[in-house]
Amino acid sequence: MAKDGSYRRASALIITLWVLGFLTILVVNLGFMVRTQLQFADHLQDRLKMYYLARAGIERAMVELYKDESESYDALNESWANNEEFFKDLPFGGGFITLRYQVGSQLDGEGTTLYGVMDESSKIDINNAPLDILIILLERIGKAGTEEAIDIAGAILDWRDQDVVVSAGGAEEEYYQGLSSPYKCKNGRFQIAEELLLVKGMTPEIFSAIKWVITVYGTGRVNINTASFNCLYALGLSDSLCERIINFRQGSDGLPGTEDDFIFKSPQDLMSIGSLFTEEATQINSLISRNMLTVKSEIFRVNSLGLFKNEKVARSREIVCVLSRQDDKGAKILYWHEN
């Protein structure tokens, strides 16, 4: 009987230890699950805060564009284009808002960061650019060979036009349907720049080089007050002339978007940058006569970053949108992408 009692007590002790061990594991796992869920909830809450911070940045940009008092021109030294007080690390709702973009000043050189809204008319509109400008763009900025540039430019024209006539070096429906993974020729306007990668002959390397100076929005005219060196160079101006235009526009401090910037009030003002060689004057007059230059813009790109910090981590979220300034309605959204 004593042995049976000892056996029962030992068995009960073992069962109790097993139950305690099981309960311990259950409690630990439950605690881990709860902690994970709480962390996930905190992450979602932070993402929501960052989203609304970025949205607030978009609204701030719209206000500044609407307040623009210079009706005859748009330039980099205006408050919507470069104002650190308005657009850099702006505290709001427990977080920060930053709107920024880069302006290139030299061929293959690093750009200058400006805080504000980017003018889409500072780029070449591939929906309206003529054949010769597309060829220059692909050669000078995309580093394509001459024949390669001619073929790709022809294919771009065929992609965006509505006819079935094949341009020199180009391609229409028959070519694209004959690919191993066939697709239709657009025969319409480019909706996003990345659509270029579907065009015959376009390579990721060429696209990566030109994507910073192209847009799918606008009327085909480039704003000479906001255009980068690369954009002016892609229009066919010589590199020395592009450098002179940028230096003249930036004023004595040599910086874009500052008070001493010279503002072109009309495309003809390009002739006032100093003595021009005959070839340089011819290049400028050619662009003016073809109505490819402007000093006014209506479409802008906003890169709005919402940053939220707590005691553990800093997180950010970005919204990129393109908007058209409307005289009576503020702004119309043309493109919206959330990261």
Where does the pLDDT of residue 134 fall: very low under 50, low under 70, confident under 90, or very high at 90 and above? very high
Query: According to the model, what pLDDT value does residue 67 have?
Result: 87
Instruction: Pull the structure tokens for residue 42.
Output: 């905190």
What mean pLDDT comes out for the span 58-72? 89
pLDDT digits (tens, 9 = 90+) for 25-36: 766 666 666 565
Residue, of 122 and 3, whose pLDDT is higher: 122
pLDDT digits (tens, 9 = 90+) for 187-197: 999 999 999 99
**Is 329's pLDDT higher than 70?**
no
pLDDT digits (tens, 9 = 90+) for 17-27: 676 666 677 66
Range with lowest mean pLDDT among 51-60, 248-257, 306-315, 316-325: 306-315
Range with lowest mean pLDDT among 81-90, 186-195, 275-284, 301-310: 301-310
**Is 1's pLDDT higher than 80?**
no
Query: According to the model, what pLDDT value does residue 26 have?
Result: 67
Most confident of 70-79, 111-120, 199-208, 309-318: 199-208
**Contact yes or no for 315/308 (Cβ under 8 A):** yes
Residue, of 229 and 14, whose pLDDT is higher: 229
Where does the pLDDT of residue 114 fall: very low under 50, low under 70, confident under 90, or very high at 90 and above? very high
Distance CA 269, CA 61 (A): 29
Integer angstrom CA distances of residue 34 from 23, 25, 41, 48, 288: 16, 14, 10, 21, 67
The amino acid at 334: L
Query: According to the model, what pLDDT value does residue 132 have?
Result: 97
Cite the DSSP H helix spans in the chain: 2-67, 84-87, 131-136, 146-160, 173-177, 204-210, 229-234, 239-250, 278-289
Distance CA 127, CA 148 (A): 20
Burial class (CB in 10 A: 0-12, 13-18, 19+), 79: middle
Helix (H, G, I), strand (E, B) or coil at 246: helix
User: Tokens 């929906």 sit at which residue?
Assistant: 127
Distance CA 41, CA 20 (A): 31
Backbone angles phi, psi at 294, to 5 degrees: -150, 170
The DSSP code sequence of 192-226 is SGGGGGGSTT--HHHHHHHGGGEES-SSS-EETTT
Q: What is the DSSP letter of 191?
A: S
Q: How many other CB atoms are there within 10 angstroms of residue 194's CB atom?
A: 11
Burial 110-126 (b: 16+ CB within 10 A, else e): ebbebbbbbbbbbbbbb
Distance CA 3, CA 5 (A): 5
Query: According to the model, what pLDDT value does residue 223 have?
Result: 98
**Is 181's pLDDT higher than 70?**
yes
pLDDT digits (tens, 9 = 90+) for 212-229: 999 999 889 999 999 999
Question: Domain residues of the chain, as ranges?
Answer: 1-126+216-339
Residue, of 110 and 200, whose pLDDT is higher: 200
User: Tokens 């990345």 sit at which residue?
Assistant: 194
Distance CA 100, CA 322 (A): 14
Backbone angles phi, psi at 335, to 5 degrees: -155, 145
The amino acid at 124: I
Q: What percent of the chain has pLDDT over 70?
A: 84
User: Tokens 């104002």 sit at which residue?
Assistant: 83
Distance CA 152, CA 198 (A): 11
Q: What is the mean pLDDT of the chain?
A: 89
Backbone angles phi, psi at 253, to 5 degrees: -85, -10
Query: According to the model, what pLDDT value does residue 40 have?
Result: 46
